[in-house]
Structure 1
Amino acid sequence: MNSQVSGFKAKISKQRLVVLGGGESGVGTAILGKKKEFEVFVSDFGKIKESYKQVLLHHEIEWEEGGHSEAKILSADIVMKSPGIPDNAPIVIKLIAKGVKVVSEIEFASKFTEATIVGITGSNGKTTTATLTYELLKQGGLNVALGGNIGKSFAEQVADGRYQNYVLELSSFQLDGIDSFAPHIAVLLNLSPDHLDRYDYKYENYIASKFRIAMNQTKDDYFIYDADDIEINKWLTQNPIQSQLLPFSVTKQLKQGACIINNEIVITIDNNNLTMPIGTLGLQGKHNQKNAMAASTVANLLKIRKTTIRECLESFQGVEHRLEKVLKINNVMYVNDSKATNVNATFYALDSMSTPTVWIVGGVDKGNDYTELLPLVNEKVKGIICLGVDNEKIIEAFGNVAETLIETHSMEQAVKQAYRLAERGDTVLLSPACASFDLFENYEDRGRQFKEAVRHL
């Protein structure tokens, strides 16, 4: 069986594909598997959304929810595990013990496309950079799709077969499930401790996971990375990679890659230069300068015209749930940064605040260390509103720093408390630094509930 599995690209009559998880990536993989003539079975330990059930029924794909039929799953030739399912889930442990290949959607789908793939990962800025890169390539006239950890599933788009280029936002969980996946252009934006609960609380395990994006690259591929990031530099020194390195930096001048000279972004690839004034960027802030550098380096490599790159960088206004200005009420600005699911993302958010801030924080802690936020909280935050089932760690970290600290257990409650605390000229910032799964479906649901609650004030 193993020889069949390792070569699952070849058409072998009715190989059995089992998909664990009936969400976006699971259903997309099931559709692709069916199209490629696998015998497909979808199993979800929880509930499958009605809309996804309809898709599975339409494609005549067998599915189950509310538990796993072990015999049906263990008879698989190959299993696609959705990114939310941990490696230590009992069914996954049994599959691996039996020698069944368990992969991610990204690995499975990449077998069935010859398209150029740009893979973008990092602890923060993935969605913004992936969306900006997609816009640059699309406006540059390329036939391109956006997928991975964002939007429509990569596998479903591969099944569709219409695209010659993909920009994929990739999480560490998706990269954990790859075997031979190799993007032509890999981007590593930054590293900061995140999801440590899935990595035995070891930062080095998480870092190794992120670097999997480059593990199958060759000398004909490119690796774009933040040259200001200590952990990235350390890893590259100890673990040389095969691809061509293109660094970006806001602190040093670089002969090859992207840097800042005289308030202009300068991108140099093989003596070919592109310049862009920082002041005209649609998204401001140092982290967005880096996101712009990474995205335009990709666009440059894929031969997008310089004028198109400049115009796109000037007009790009960011993505939903990332420092998104919602409304100004009584001269108080409400900002939705629900996508800040780790401490580093919240650091950027607080750092960008220029007015006294009422900060809504909390959710599922992923092994967070809040100490790096203390100076910013001291300087900028006038009140903290905890929003989570368990707020103990946040209270412990900031109880003596903020003049006001209030516990809440619903978004409506949190926004009402923020409204009472905020005065003219202040900002109310939702930047949770935590995952959302205690009170919300996901960070999008959390962000939308915030916007809804603000509009109802």
Structure 2
Amino acid sequence: MINLSQHNSGLAPTSPSTGGGRGEAGGGRTSLVVLGGGESGVGAAILAKKEGYDVVLMDEGSLKAGYRSELEAAGIAFLEGSIDGEKLLAAAEVVKSPGIPEKNEWVKKIRAKGIPVISEIELAYRHKGDSRIIAITGSNGKTTTTSLIYHICKVGELDCALVGNIGYSFARQVAEDPKPLYVCEISSFQLDDILTFRPDVAVLLNITEDHLDRYNYQFENYAAAKFRIMMNQLPTDHFIYNEDDEVIVNHLKHNSITANQLPITMKKEVAKGAQIKDNELQVKTGNEPLEMSVYDFALKGKHNQYNTMAACVAGSTMDIRKNKIREAVQTFSSLEHRMEPVLTVRGVDFINDSKATNVNSTWYALESMTKPTVLIMGGVDKGNDYSLIMELIQEKVKTIVCMGTDNSKIEAAFKDVVPVVSTGNAEDAVKAAFAAAVPGDAVLMSPACASFDLFRNYEDRGTQFKNAVKNL
């Protein structure tokens, strides 16, 4: 660990500057504490150091070796395994990593003292310069849509970076390799702590129940967090939203939208935005409309038609040529861990949908299935309502294989509908699913739950699943 006393002289509180770490009262540097040492926190610390803040990173857990080495190489003070309460509560501002909930005792103390708390994307926004931002949020489809927009921008020859909840932190990218355009996936947790963050293009895909454990089990609180993505937008900005989503439409009635609204829909005609009618996509953003058949979309399934619509509208706001958008939509490859075909073993297809960490994601996965399905699901339940997928389970699923440390809620929900088998790891789950399948069936791992009971994250879960399939 870097000796804090050697690297944090002048950590006494100063007034936080709005434009960076150097414009501070009394000649000292703005003291900034980064709480949390994952990708988001380390990225924030690297940017803060570059911008002249007096920064220290703290994490109650242990840091990954790679992150520890980065902080040491950058000369950034850090503390792992504990929190220095005196320094934390003397900070002018705190960057809170999105994984840390409000119920955390240190967060409560920070709030009680009135210290401003911001997210890493807020810090990155302050220092992005004149660069533009396309920001994407929603309960389902964020990663797919963000990746497709990035692909459209790259095919359209724009100099851009893919950041946020999808890989590199936004702050790290701004610090190490700034770009004229950032395509940014954003979660509700990141939106909770923005102040001035304003995307040039905001995309709101859908709002369904998720992460209710972080919002006092109040769906309204979660929906309000999603709507923060456009709260600072100006009339020159664009707001792309799903007009077929009842929750979004109801919230629009109670939110003042100043940005240029570009709805996407399959249920009506729109003067601007995008619509799909009779399997034909029309994108209208003021220029000549873009038209193409949904059969030419690389992404299949009704939910991906909404994702593709949103991505095409976002690309159109960047003045990317129609033929380039069309080419990108046709050439996009599916993402790892998102309805990812793994192998066909003795006539049984195995599909990895580990990124489905909530019930609605699993609903979308099942909706796109065309073969009799053995469904592997389970993990950390986040207040799931399994009745949402009951009809699809009855229609498409022949057996459910549970994979988790506590499978009781899933067993109770479906034991009278289909056979339910309980397992406690990926290898046993794959073997049980294969035993329940016959040639012509599909085994779909779409857990509807978080992964932290048995796995490091959803990527680890998906990788273990794929390895188990390959070992059959």
Q: Same fold (TM over 0.5)?
A: yes
Q: CA deviation at 1:70?
A: 0.9
Give 1:329-348 correspondences, 5 Å limit: 329-348=345-364
**What corresponds to 2:41 in structure 1?**
26
User: Which amino acid is the alignment partner of residue 433 of structure 2?
Assistant: A
User: Which amino acid is the alignment partner of residue 291 of structure 1?
Assistant: N
Unaligned runs of 5+ in 2: 1-11
TM-score by length of structure 2 reads 0.95
Give 1:233-382 correspondences, 5 Å limit: 233-270=249-286, 272-382=288-398
Alignment deviations for residues 387-433 of structure 1 (CA, whole Å, 9 cap, x no partner): 1111111111111111x211111111111111111111111110000
**What corresponds to 2:248 in structure 1?**
232
8 Å CA contact 2:17–2:30 kept in 1: the answer is no
Aligned equivalents of 1:238, 1:40: Cα separation in 2? 39
Q: CA deviation at 1:261?
A: 3.1
Aligned equivalents of 1:71, 1:2: Cα separation in 2? 11
Which stretch shifts more, 1-10 or 187-196? Answer: 1-10
**What corresponds to 1:181 in structure 2?**
197
- Find 1:68's aligned residue among 75, 83, 90: 83
Are 1:397 and 2:408 counterparts? Answer: no
Aligned equivalents of 1:2, 1:49: Cα separation in 2? 29
Are 1:415 and 2:415 counterparts? Answer: no
Aligned equivalents of 2:108, 2:393: Cα separation in 1? 42
**What corresponds to 2:439 in structure 1?**
424
Alignment deviations for residues 290-341 of structure 1 (CA, whole Å, 9 cap, x no partner): 1111111011110101111001100112211110000000010000000001
**What corresponds to 1:197 in structure 2?**
213
Aligned equivalents of 2:430, 2:184: Cα separation in 1? 34
SS in 2 for 1:166: strand
Are 1:44 and 2:59 counterparts? Answer: yes
Q: 1:2 to 1:277 in 2, by over 3 A?
A: farther
**What corresponds to 1:7 in structure 2?**
18
Aligned equivalents of 2:103, 2:465: Cα separation in 1? 34
**What corresponds to 2:5 in structure 1?**
none
Aligned equivalents of 2:14, 2:45: Cα separation in 1? 22
User: Which amino acid is the alignment partner of residue 312 of structure 1?
Assistant: A
Aligned equivalents of 2:261, 2:371: Cα separation in 1? 39
**What corresponds to 2:9 in structure 1?**
none
Q: CA deviation at 1:10?
A: 5.9
Identity within the alignment, %: 51
**What corresponds to 2:7 in structure 1?**
none
**What corresponds to 1:78 in structure 2?**
93
Aligned equivalents of 1:357, 1:68: Cα separation in 2? 48
Aligned equivalents of 1:7, 1:322: Cα separation in 2? 39
Alignment deviations for residues 27-47 of structure 1 (CA, whole Å, 9 cap, x no partner): 111110110111111111111
- Find 1:157's aligned residue among 173, 176, 184: 173
Q: CA deviation at 1:9?
A: 2.7
SS in 2 for 1:205: helix
SS in 2 for 1:394: helix
**What corresponds to 2:73 in structure 1?**
58
Q: CA deviation at 1:14?
A: 1.9
Aligned equivalents of 2:277, 2:414: Cα separation in 1? 39
Are 1:206 and 2:217 counterparts? Answer: no
Structure 1: 4+ residue segments shifted above 4 A: none
Aligned equivalents of 1:225, 1:333: Cα separation in 2? 34
Q: 1:351 to 1:150 in 2, by over 3 A?
A: same
Aligned equivalents of 1:248, 1:203: Cα separation in 2? 23
Q: CA RMSD in A?
A: 1.3
> How many pairs were matched up?
456
TM-score by length of structure 1 reads 0.98
Alignment deviations for residues 97-127 of structure 1 (CA, whole Å, 9 cap, x no partner): 1111111100111000121001100000000
**What corresponds to 2:458 in structure 1?**
443
Alignment deviations for residues 332-383 of structure 1 (CA, whole Å, 9 cap, x no partner): 0000000001111100111111111111111111111010211111111111
User: Which amino acid is the alignment partner of residue 424 of structure 2?
Assistant: H
User: Which amino acid is the alignment partner of residue 417 of structure 1?
Assistant: A
**What corresponds to 2:187 in structure 1?**
171
Aligned equivalents of 2:124, 2:103: Cα separation in 1? 24
Aligned equivalents of 1:375, 1:199: Cα separation in 2? 28
User: Which amino acid is the alignment partner of residue 76 of structure 1?
Assistant: A
Aligned equivalents of 1:18, 1:302: Cα separation in 2? 36
8 Å CA contact 2:400–2:421 kept in 1: the answer is yes
**What corresponds to 2:8 in structure 1?**
none
